[in-house]
Amino acid sequence: MAHTISHLRVLQLSVPVIISNASVPLVGAVDSAVLGRLPDPAYLAGAALGATAISVAIFNFSFLRIVTGGYAAQAFGADDKDELLAVFWRSLMLAALIGLALVLTRPLLVQAALWFFIDSPATETHMARYLSIRLLSAPFILGNMVVLALLVGQQRTRLMVPLQVLLNGLNMALDLLFVLELDWRVEGVAAASVIAEIAAFFAGAALVLWPFRGRALAWGRLFALAKLRRLLSANTDIMIRNVAMQAVFSLVLRYASYFGTVNVAATAIHLHFLEITAYGLDGFAVSVESLCGAAFGQKNRALFRDVVKKTSLWAFGLAALVSLGYWLFSQDFIALLTTIESVRSAAQTTAIYAAILPLIGVWAYQADGVFFGATQSASLRNSTVLAALVFWGLVLVTRDWGMVSLWIGLAGFFAARALVLIAAYPRLEAQLAPAPQG
C-alpha cells in the first residue's frame, strides 16, 4: 500500500480540472455576444438575469457533486466496485427527483425570480421566457454533477476536458444557429443550453458506466437504508452550508450599494477576479478531494497526510502567483473591464484587499477539499455557518470604515472557514490507521 503521492500525480488530476473550469466563462461570453447583436439590450439583460437565477437555484443542490464525489473516492480507494456503481445510481436517482421537482415548479420559480430581480417590463419578460425553457434542463444539470463527481472520485479528471468541450462547444454552436440564423433570440439561447446539457449528460454517463460494463448492479447495495440515510444526512448538511455561503456572496453587492453605484461597479470588478481565481484553485481542491477520499477509503493516514501537504503546496503557489499578478497588474485588469474613470479610481483603491484574498481563501478551499473527500459534512456545515456569522459581525463592527469593511468581512469569512476545519483536522486523522513502523 502506497504511503506517498507524487507531485506529478497531483498535477495530472488538477490541471484537467483547471482547464475544464477555464472554459466555463466562455459560454456566458458567447451568450452575451450573440444577444448583444440584437437591437434591444433587454434581451441581453433578461438572459443574464435568468442565468443568474439558474445559478443561484442550482448552487443549493451542488451537494450532489460534493457528497457523491467523496463517497465515490472512498469506494474507489477501498476498491469496492459494487459500492462505486451503487453510489452513482443512488445519487442519480436523487438528482432526477430534485430535477423533476424543479421542472414541475417552474411557474413558481419564475415568479420568485421576477420578484427578486426588479427591472424593466421588457427585461422581466425575456427573463421569464429564458427561465421557462432553461429550467427544463434541471434534471440533466444535476445529473452532470453526479457524472463529474464519479469522474473525480475515480481519479479520471482528464475526461472532464472533452466533456466540457462538448458542453460548451455545442452550446456555442447552437447559440449561433438559433439566435443569429433562426432569430429565436432569448428562447434560442435557453434552448441551446438545454440541448447541450442533455448531450453532455448522456456522453458523461456513458464514460462513467463504461468500466462497469458487464457488471450487474447490486440492488441490495443501491437501496441499503443505512447508505441512503447517510447520503441524505450529508446532502442536508452541505445544502445548509451552501445556503450560508449564499447568504454572504449574494449580498456582497447589495451591501456595496449602500456606498453608491460606483462602489458596486468597482466591487463587481474585483469579484470577477476572485471568480477566475476560484476556478483555478478549485483544480487543486478537487484533486485533494479525490486523493484524500481514496486514502480515507483505504484508512491510510500516511497517504492522507502526504496528499494534504503536496496539494496544499501547489495550491498556495498558485494563490501566491495570482495575488502577486493582481497586485502588479490590477490597473490593467480594471481598465479592461471599464472605461469609467470614477469606477477605475474606486476599484484601484480597494484592489490591494482583493489581491490579498486568494492567499487567505486558498486554505478554505483546501480544507473544504479534505473534508469533502472524507465526507465530514457536519464539520463543513458548521464551519461555513460560523464563518457567515463572522463575516456579518466584522462588517457591522467596521462599517464606519466604508468599503474596507466589506473586504475585512470577506477575509474573515475565508479565514474562519479554514481555521474551524484546521482545528477539526486532528480528529479526522485519528480515524485513520498510522503507517507501519520499520
pLDDT, tens digit, 9 for 90 and up, residues 97-114? 999 999 999 999 888 888
Which residues make Cβ contacts (< 8 Å) with residue 315, sequence separation at least 6? 281, 284, 285, 288, 362, 365, 366
Residue 179 shares a structural domain with residue 213: yes
Q: Phi-psi region for residue 79, left (φ > 0), alpha (ψ -120 to 50) or beta?
A: left
Residue 363 shares a structural domain with residue 273: yes
> Worst-scoring range by mean pLDDT, 28-32, 386-390, 413-417?
28-32
Confidence of residue 408 (pLDDT cuts 50, 70, 90): very high
Confidence of residue 28 (pLDDT cuts 50, 70, 90): low
Residue (of 95, 311, 127) closest to 208 by Cα position? 95
End-to-end CA separation in angstroms for the chain: 14
Residue 198 shares a structural domain with residue 74: yes
Residue 121 shares a structural domain with residue 264: no
Residue 59 has pLDDT above 50, yes or no: yes
How far apart CA 50 and CA 415 sit, in angstroms, is 32
Percent of all residues in the chain with a pLDDT value above 90, rounded to a whole number: 36
Give φ, ψ of 437 to 5 degrees. Answer: -80, 155
Whether residue 231 lies inside any domain: the answer is no
* Helix segments in 341-431, DSSP class H: 341-373, 377-397, 404-429
Residue 421 has pLDDT above 80, yes or no: yes
Residue 264 shares a structural domain with residue 192: no
Radius of gyration for the chain, computed over Cα atoms and rounded to the nearest angstrom? 22
Whether residue 4 lies inside any domain: the answer is no
Averaged pLDDT, 419-428: 93
Pull the grid cell for residue 395: 462588517
Whether residue 230 lies inside any domain: the answer is no
Displacement of CA 413 from its chain's centroid (Å): 17
Whether residue 78 lies inside any domain: the answer is yes
* Sign for the pseudo-dihedral over CA of 361, 366, 370, 375: positive
Count of beta carbons in the 10 Å neighbourhood of residue 435: 15
Whether residue 6 lies inside any domain: the answer is no
* Sign for the pseudo-dihedral over CA of 378, 425, 67, 166: positive
Residue (of 242, 274, 278, 271) closest to 256 by Cα position? 271
Residue 257 shares a structural domain with residue 114: no
Whether residue 81 lies inside any domain: the answer is yes
Confidence of residue 122 (pLDDT cuts 50, 70, 90): confident
Whether residue 229 lies inside any domain: the answer is no
Whole-prediction pTM value?
0.82
Residue 389 has pLDDT above 90, yes or no: yes
Residue 141 shares a structural domain with residue 176: yes
Q: Which of 196, 223, 250 is the last residue of a domain?
A: 223
* Tally of domains in the chain: 2
pLDDT the model gives residue 170: 93
How far apart CA 291 and CA 3 sit, in angstroms, is 12
Displacement of CA 408 from its chain's centroid (Å): 23
How far apart CA 21 and CA 171 sit, in angstroms, is 16
pLDDT the model gives residue 234: 84
Whether residue 1 lies inside any domain: the answer is no
Residue 268 shares a structural domain with residue 403: yes
pLDDT the model gives residue 1: 57
Residue 206 has pLDDT above 90, yes or no: yes
Averaged pLDDT, 397-408: 89
How far apart CA 267 and CA 398 sit, in angstroms, is 17
pLDDT the model gives residue 438: 47
How far apart CA 149 and CA 84 sit, in angstroms, is 11
Q: List C-alpha distances in Å: 128 to 111, 121, 148, 173, 305.
A: 8, 11, 29, 23, 49
Q: Which of 178, 195, 223 is the last residue of a domain?
A: 223
Residue 144 shares a structural domain with residue 259: no
> Worst-scoring range by mean pLDDT, 4-18, 25-39, 167-181, 334-348?
25-39
Residue 207 shares a structural domain with residue 317: no
Interior CA angle at 261 toward 255 and 267, to 5°? 60
Which residues make Cβ contacts (< 8 Å) with residue 88, sequence separation at least 6? 68, 72, 146, 150, 208, 209
* Helix segments in 211-340, DSSP class H: 219-222, 225-249, 252-256, 261-298, 301-337
Beta-bridged to residue 300, according to DSSP, are 433
Q: Which of 193, 223, 253 is the last residue of a domain?
A: 223
Residue 287 shares a structural domain with residue 216: no
192, containing H or E segment: helix 185-209
How far apart CA 403 and CA 263 sit, in angstroms, is 8
Write out the residue range of the structural domain in which residue 208 sits: 13-223
**Cβ contacts of 351-356, under 8 Å, gap ≥ 24:** 351/270, 351/326, 351/327, 352/327, 353/270, 353/404, 353/407, 353/408, 353/411, 354/270, 354/273, 354/274, 354/326, 354/330, 354/407, 355/323, 355/324, 355/326, 355/327, 355/330, 356/323, 356/411
Q: Are 161 and 19 in contact (CB under 8 A)?
A: yes
pLDDT the model gives residue 313: 93
Residue 289 shares a structural domain with residue 397: yes
